[in-house]
């Protein structure tokens, strides 16, 4: 029984039988061991025994595709390809792969094909169907042997092997859950979900590939989407940068691991190298950057000035510390930019007997493209109080009308308004007392920083409001 509804199997394993020949005297081959461990890990991640992994143990490249194999391909939710020189040279695997992709043409685009690189193969030799898939590197360059070898040979408890297995099982589990939630239909590979945080992890140089895989696995386990999810075009600089900018736009941070190696020159960008090119695109995009280098690296030994300049921006720390910093940045909730208002807002506060004057002043200000509000003339005391508080909390400036009202009323408004204004997220741009008729007035007896007086005791004078308007415009 499969985990994904509508299928008999969750995973169909396509591999070359030559890659499954035991080389250490045991009964199980490398592919068998991978499939067995993957079955256990994915089942436990899904929390169910309803996980079906299918692989052929009997036929080889000299036998035709049987109805059983064709049915298994058609009834499998995902395809796991074990890529190797043997796989590329196997006519059986070619027919198997063509049958799978012919039956389900959109599987690569929807993320239902997983490629495991068991050995080093040239990218130009990888079938075009899988050309843009990053895949999972399950081989390593063995310095002692002077050659590449599959991870887990001879030790299936090898740390890097387990790390790659965890990453593969996690990604496979996520894809199966997406397909189950959409009732068996493959989910479109379009990057992270709108509410899922994502970071961009730059492609590292060969000496840091293990570190990069470690970081990717760590972030995936923390439910952080890692971009890019596909390989970029390697023959056109404009296409490469456009694809990278698109991923950066969905990322909360650009993350890069650097060593003394500046990387190989790129065929499609003369005299450019991969680490520097990626860094320059991220800088131009304005994406927050977290760069790492080993604290033991001596920058004086780096001769390339461009590469050394990038290294100087990196954090010299331990990998565990850096991983936590990346996770913290990925989980940090970005500040939401407040929408800009089309105009400046002023609250013209006035006592009931000065409301006609307040309306006259507001009319004069509106001619200067100033949005104005004055107190409600009607309503319950609670409605009036709430409206007053909202005006004081949201306005850019306050113009307090001192006409026929008493000095005591003005003083009370200044004191009460001070409490509300002090709780604002942004400071008040301008605060003024508008002195209207009559000409004779009591002294307010106040000294408040940045409070000034607009003298219009003989009538509304637009020029007298110039200082208030200038302060607002700032």
68-110 pLDDT per residue, tens: 777 887 788 998 989 999 888 877 676 766 666 666 556 676 7
As annotated, the residues of the chain forming the CATH 3.40.50.10140 domain(s) are 1-189
Nearest CA among 315, 305, 307, 300 for reference residue 278: 307
Sign, Cα dihedral of 97, 103, 105, 110: negative
CATH T-level assignment (fold) for domain 196-333: Rossmann fold (3.40.50)
pLDDT at 58: 61
Domain 344-473 listed as CATH 3.40.50.1970: no
Alpha-carbon span 474 to 472, nearest angstrom: 5
Tell me if 262 sits within 8 A of 276, measured CB to CB: yes
Structure tokens at 321: 């510390």
Cis peptide before 438 (omega within 30 of 0): yes
What's the CATH number of domain 1-189, 3.40.50.620, 3.40.50.150, 3.40.50.10140, 3.10.450.50? Answer: 3.40.50.10140
B/e letters for 265-299, b = 16+ CB within 10 Å, e = fewer, are ebeebeebbbbbbbbebbeebebebbbbbbeeeee
Q: Which residue has the higher pLDDT, 67 or 196?
A: 196
pLDDT in tens, 326-370: 999 999 876 665 555 557 899 999 999 999 999 999 988 888 888
pLDDT at 10: 94
Alpha-carbon span 174 to 172, nearest angstrom: 5
282 Cβ contact partners less than 8 Å away, ≥ 6 residues apart: 200, 202, 248, 254, 256, 289
Distances in Å between the alpha carbon of 158 and those of 20, 150, 308?
A: 19, 11, 34
Phi/psi at 391 (5° precision): -65, -45
Alpha-carbon span 117 to 348, nearest angstrom: 71
* Range 9-30 average pLDDT: 83
As annotated, the residues of the chain forming the CATH 3.40.50.2300 domain(s) are 344-473
Task: Pinpoint the alpha helices (H) of 25-149.
Answer: 30-46, 67-74, 85-89, 91-103
């Amino acid at each position: 029984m499969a985990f994904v509804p509508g299928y008999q199997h969750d995973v169909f394993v396509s591999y070359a039988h030559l890659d499954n020949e035991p080389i250490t005297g045991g009964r199980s081959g490398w592919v068998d061991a991978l499939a067995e461990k993957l079955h256990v890990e994915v089942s436990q991640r899904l929390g169910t025994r309803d996980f079906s992994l299918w692989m052929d143990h009997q036929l080889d490249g000299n036998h035709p595709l049987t109805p059983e194999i064709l049915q298994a391909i058609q009834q499998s939710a995902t395809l796991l390809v074990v890529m190797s020189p043997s796989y590329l040279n196997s006519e059986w695997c070619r027919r198997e792969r063509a049958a799978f992709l012919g039956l389900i043409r959109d599987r690569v685009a929807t993320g239902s094909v997983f490629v495991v690189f068991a050995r080093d193969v040239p990218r130009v030799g990888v079938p075009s169907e899988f050309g843009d898939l990053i895949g999972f590197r399950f081989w390593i360059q063995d310095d002692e042997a002077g050659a590449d070898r599959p991870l887990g040979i001879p030790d299936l408890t090898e740390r890097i092997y387990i790390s790659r297995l965890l990453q593969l099982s996690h990604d496979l589990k996520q894809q199966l859950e997406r397909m189950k939630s959409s009732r068996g239909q493959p989910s479109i590979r379009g990057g992270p979900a709108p509410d899922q945080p994502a970071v961009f992890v730059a492609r590292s140089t060969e000496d840091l590939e293990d570190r990069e895989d470690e970081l990717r696995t760590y972030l995936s386990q923390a439910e952080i989407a890692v971009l890019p999810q596909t390989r970029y075009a390697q023959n056109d600089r404009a296409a490469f940068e456009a694809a990278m900018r698109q991923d950066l736009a969905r990322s909360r941070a650009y993350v890069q691991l650097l060593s003394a190696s500046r990387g190989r020159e790129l065929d499609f960008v003369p005299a450019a190298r991969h680490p520097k090119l990626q860094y320059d695109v991220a800088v131009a995009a304005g994406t927050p950057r977290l760069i790492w280098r080993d604290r033991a690296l001596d920058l004086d030994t780096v001769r390339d000035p461009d590469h050394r300049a990038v290294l100087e921006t990196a954090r010299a720390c331990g990998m565990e510390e850096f991983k936590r910093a990346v996770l913290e940045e990925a989980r940090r909730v970005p500040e939401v930019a407040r929408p800009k208002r089309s105009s400046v807002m002023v609250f013209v506060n006035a006592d009931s007997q000065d409301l006609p004057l307040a309306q006259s002043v507001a009319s004069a200000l509106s001619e200067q493209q100033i949005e104005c509000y004055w107190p409600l003339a009607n309503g319950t005391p609670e409605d009036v109080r709430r409206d007053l508080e909202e005006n004081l909390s949201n306005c850019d400036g306050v113009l307090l009308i001192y006409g026929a009202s008493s000095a005591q009323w003005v003083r009370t408004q200044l004191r009460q308004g001070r409490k509300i204004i002090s709780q604002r997220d942004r400071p008040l741009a301008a605060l003024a007392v508008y002195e209207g008729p009559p000409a004779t007035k009591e002294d307010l007896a106040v000294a408040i920083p940045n409070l000034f007086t607009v003298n219009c005791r003989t009538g509304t004078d637009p020029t007298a409001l110039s200082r208030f308007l200038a302060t607002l415009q700032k």
